[in-house]
Structure 1
């Protein structure tokens, strides 16, 4: 989620016109009206540097390594199971999120910005990393939603799900999600361009961001889809599917426990299903928890016009989005622990991979 720095206030009618430049505006240093500020300018800059530049940079480096391992493991396991296709797509999307977040954490360092002479570093990072990061984040959300729906169907209609979600359809859906975001991104790069402009302070031309005249209309359409409809829709669907899945699994586990206790007295099936419940719940909980700050911040922007880039609550606005970006990176980086802990097949493949590298 991002917002244009020139937006002085945000309400329901002009929200979609501002949904772009948090990545770009996060570096704005002009302080708003001092009254009612909950966080001082000095504290905001210190926390923003620590959260966005240091923490996001460290998480990005770690997550890039873990997702490269995830991709290798899923490719080695093959794609007989549609879930491997989904998880490979998710790992690729997460890798894209973390690569762009790493670029943003480096480029948005205020000490590094001062060293840029012949170009506007903020504009270049925004152009090459800011919007691509938003797109990859949306891909991650959509693939996570599809995984939740597929798992929900596996429990609700186990006999029909294989005819509904086939290997070819799964591949088509995953590729289609990436393709949709590429199509959504094309208008952005039509209305936002890089141009050489004379900078009177530096007394020479610099490379910076320029805009076409129809930018507001085009971006209003793009961001109403990518920054409102997609994140809120994915968030709600994941919650609903997770609740349905947990209820279904719990009911079937209780029924099978009673049935098996009358005969063998064992509960192997129950134990396996409990592990599935735990894994699904953990994955969904991580996704939901890491997306809550961004959703809540967006809601605040709708109902409080001063909670914006240049409003009286600008410092809280910047900190809120810094935390949202950090948690988004964390969501993309920690899946390896879920897979390694919950999946014996993943754990075995990973151990074989690491042992081969040692030899």
Structure 2
């Protein structure tokens, strides 16, 4: 096959992906700012409510840390998002610097916080899983102080993984010989070993490890709660037959867990499920990128690469934005404080 035939074949295969890319980006470009602004508002609200409630235990410590990390992710991604929208809708915008400067400088710092949020979500799943599976052994293990130390270690870990790839970028001045002017730009040094390390460890292995741990934790929690529910029904029916309905109502419920504990477990399980769903597009995207060299920014499947990347971004933004609904429905203290804040704000407006 000659070169002209190869180019024709590549064009035929690329064209459908280009159409999908154009349609996807046009739709998501309108959704991106709405989701990000909503996420900034909800995470600021979460932080205020949790501070008012008081950070008294390990679960609240993890939840407020998750909100702070999600907020930082959305704050750092906002300038990149604004740049992207301007480039897409106003391609001839007169930039005073290289148009991809902001995105390339802030991409890895922003997704470092996204990785940190992923690790916090996994921490929530692991702590609740351990407490549900073996409550007596782990009842006093996950203290607030130990949780803070673990968060610090996790943050150092995710930063350490991203520092090598971030160190390959540097600011440079590029001179235009036609206009005799210089433009501030960013240049990434192509260091094969660092790039490969980042692709394998940061973009694929770590997300997959978090994903597998999270699915395992949710499965164990659901199994243990189901077993406890079956045991409760058995004791209830046995007590009802032996001593009447009054003793049946006093039978152990979910291994003696209070309604508050069950709401905490339900809250954590939902947060874990949101994490699992939101990670699927990115995991598909990053894993396929490792196995197919054409699935990259300059390969034959570049438009499919950009399309799945955009879909992965909207799922990441949603993951960092929607936890407020979980907290409102499953945390009575959170709901009470939030409603009180809304009533006070309404009175002030009136």
TM-score strictly above 0.5:
yes
Give the superposition deviation at 1:42.
4.9
CA-based RMSD: 2.6
The within-5 A match list for 1:77-92 is 77-92=53-68
Match of 1:21 in 2: none
Give the superposition deviation at 1:266.
6.2
Q: 1:161 to 1:339 in 2, by over 3 A?
A: same
**Is the 1:67–1:95 Cα contact (8 Å) retained in structure 2?**
yes
Match of 2:248 in 1: 264
Match of 2:193 in 1: 217
Q: 1:255 to 1:293 in 2, by over 3 A?
A: same
Asked if 1:304 is matched to 2:292, the reply is: yes
By percentage of residues, which structure has more helix?
Answer: 2
Q: Which runs of 5+ in 2 are unaligned?
A: 1-7, 240-246
- Name the stretch that deviates more: 269-278 or 239-248: 269-278
Match of 1:137 in 2: 114
Secondary structure of 1:165 counterpart: coil
How far apart, CA to CA, are the structure 1 residues paired with 2:35 and 2:343? 26
Q: Quick one: which of 69, 72, 97 aligns to 1:119?
A: 97
Equivalenced residue count is: 326
Match of 1:70 in 2: 46
**Is the 2:79–2:102 Cα contact (8 Å) retained in structure 1?**
no
**Is the 2:162–2:202 Cα contact (8 Å) retained in structure 1?**
no
The within-5 A match list for 1:1-359 is 33-37=10-14, 39=16, 41-51=18-28, 53-109=29-85, 110=87, 111-112=89-90, 114-127=92-105, 129-200=106-177, 203-212=180-189, 215-261=191-237, 262=239, 263-265=247-249, 269=253, 272=259, 275=263, 278-359=266-347
Q: 1:342 to 1:267 in 2, by over 3 A?
A: farther
Match of 2:244 in 1: none
Q: 1:235 to 1:38 in 2, by over 3 A?
A: farther
**Is the 1:100–1:133 Cα contact (8 Å) retained in structure 2?**
yes
How far apart, CA to CA, are the structure 2 residues paired with 1:314 and 1:211? 19
Q: 1:107 to 1:347 in 2, by over 3 A?
A: same
**Is the 1:120–1:207 Cα contact (8 Å) retained in structure 2?**
yes
- Name the stretch that deviates more: 105-114 or 136-145: 105-114
- TM-score for the superposition, normalised by structure 1: 0.82
TM-superposition CA deviations, 1:45-81 (whole Å, max 9, x none) = 3421331x32121100000000000011111111222
TM-superposition CA deviations, 1:204-244 (whole Å, max 9, x none) = 2111112457x333343344332122111100100011101
Q: Which runs of 5+ in 1 are unaligned?
A: 1-30
**Is the 2:264–2:331 Cα contact (8 Å) retained in structure 1?**
no
Q: 1:248 to 1:202 in 2, by over 3 A?
A: farther
How far apart, CA to CA, are the structure 2 residues paired with 1:58 and 1:191? 32
- Name the stretch that deviates more: 31-40 or 237-246: 31-40
| Structure 1 runs, 4 residues or longer, greater than 6 Å off | none
How far apart, CA to CA, are the structure 1 residues paired with 2:252 and 2:92? 62
**Is the 1:57–1:101 Cα contact (8 Å) retained in structure 2?**
no
- TM-score for the superposition, normalised by structure 2: 0.84
